[in-house]
Amino acid sequence: MPSIQLHGRIFLKGTINALTGLHIGGTTGELDIGGIDNPIIRNAFNRQPYIPGSSLRGKIRGLLDRHFGKDLNKPVGRDVRVHESKTPAEYYICPISQVFGVAPIQQLRGKTMPTRVIVRDTFLTDESLAVLDKADTDTDLTEIKTEVAIDRITSAATPRQQERVPAGAKFGPLQIVHSLYTQHGTDHDNQLQDELKLFDTVLKGMELLEDDYLGGSGSRGSGQIAFENLTMTFKSRECYEKVDMDPITINLPENADIKAVRQSGYVEQIRNAIPAE
């Protein structure tokens, strides 16, 4: 495989606003009599709720699989299946595999690029922590939503409890990092243009997520989120070589949302910041 060169990284930052209660499942590690049936995931050091990067990344990838109509050919765990390219020909035409990466199976060994996107864990903002700390919540920083399953024949009721971060909580800073690569011996300009199109795949997945849900019980009202106050910077390869060179800030509207980012003309701004070869 030709050598791979990093041309820079796009940093997308912002806030995740929980428009409805948010449940991303965790585990208690023990069975408590009278405890919550479905607890959320918490930071082990401070017990604060957070959004794992794996949950956000996995949901975006799953929505893109459906958006592009991809064959769900790889089982992940017991009940989850995702799409993964199995041949170089499939890989080169699949933006999902190129963005999120593929397993190093023999047929693809030495014929793929590195995973482009990194999604960091996102924690409650200081403002939300202060509000929730003063709020009369059912547990530490969270609410307990009780749902009742009704037997369709006997009408017997079975209650169940679900822990949620209350609606209105905000998480940030969200950070998504996307790397731009080219291969030696390829058409440099056209490949960079294709690389920037791959970043729009990530933005497309984020827009799909806003119209879907994050975490569990989305069909019952939980997990509606919005990406807010988005900012973008680009750190070129030269920034890593020259310590006095700063990343460039991409011009976005104030308080930009996903649609505003996609319409901002960021592609040309980043393209102009990469030296021609």
Question: What is the rounded average pLDDT of the residues 148-165?
Answer: 78
Question: What is the rounded average pLDDT of the residues 108-131?
Answer: 92
Q: Look at residue 185 and tell me whether its pLDDT is greater than 90.
A: no
Q: Look at residue 262 and tell me whether its pLDDT is greater than 90.
A: yes
Q: Look at residue 31 and tell me whether its pLDDT is greater than 50.
A: no
Q: Among 77-81, 132-136, 165-169, 255-259, whose mean pLDDT is lowest?
A: 77-81
Q: Look at residue 33 and tell me whether its pLDDT is greater than 50.
A: no
Q: Look at residue 189 and tell me whether its pLDDT is greater than 80.
A: no
The torsion angles phi and psi of 12, rounded to 5 degrees, stand at -105, 120
Q: What pLDDT, on a 0 to 100 scale, did the predictor assign at position 32?
A: 47
Q: What pLDDT, on a 0 to 100 scale, did the predictor assign at position 188?
A: 61
Q: Look at residue 175 and tell me whether its pLDDT is greater than 70.
A: yes
Q: Which long-range CB contacts under 8 A does 212-220 form with residues at least 24 apart?
A: 212/59, 212/63, 214/22, 214/24, 214/51, 214/55, 214/56, 214/59, 215/22, 215/23, 215/24, 215/25, 215/55, 216/23, 216/24, 216/25, 216/38, 216/162, 217/23, 217/162, 220/147
For 149, what's the count of Cα atoms within 13 Å in the CB-facing half-sphere? 5
Spatial contact of 156 and 150, defined as CB atoms under 8 Å apart: yes
Residues paired with residue 47 on neighbouring β-strands, in sequence order: none
Q: What pLDDT, on a 0 to 100 scale, did the predictor assign at position 110?
A: 75
Q: What pLDDT, on a 0 to 100 scale, did the predictor assign at position 56?
A: 97
- For the chain, the domains span 4-137+166-272
Question: What is the rounded average pLDDT of the residues 2-6?
Answer: 82
Question: What is the rounded average pLDDT of the residues 79-107?
Answer: 87
Residue with tokens 């490949």: 191
Q: What pLDDT, on a 0 to 100 scale, did the predictor assign at position 186?
A: 63
Q: What pLDDT, on a 0 to 100 scale, did the predictor assign at position 1?
A: 53
Question: What is the rounded average pLDDT of the residues 165-192?
Answer: 86
Mean pLDDT, the chain, rounded, equals: 88
Q: Among 37-41, 68-72, 273-277, whose mean pLDDT is lowest?
A: 273-277
Q: Look at residue 152 and tell me whether its pLDDT is greater than 80.
A: no
Q: Look at residue 169 and tell me whether its pLDDT is greater than 70.
A: yes
Q: Look at residue 180 and tell me whether its pLDDT is greater than 80.
A: yes
Confidence label for 174 from pLDDT (cuts 50, 70 and 90)? very high
More confident residue, 31 or 162: 162
Question: What is the rounded average pLDDT of the residues 156-171?
Answer: 87
Q: What is the pLDDT of residues 219-258, one digit of tens each?
A: 989 999 999 999 999 999 999 999 899 999 999 999 999 9
Q: Residue 223's closest CA among 17, 18, 38, 58?
A: 18
Q: Look at residue 128 and tell me whether its pLDDT is greater than 70.
A: yes
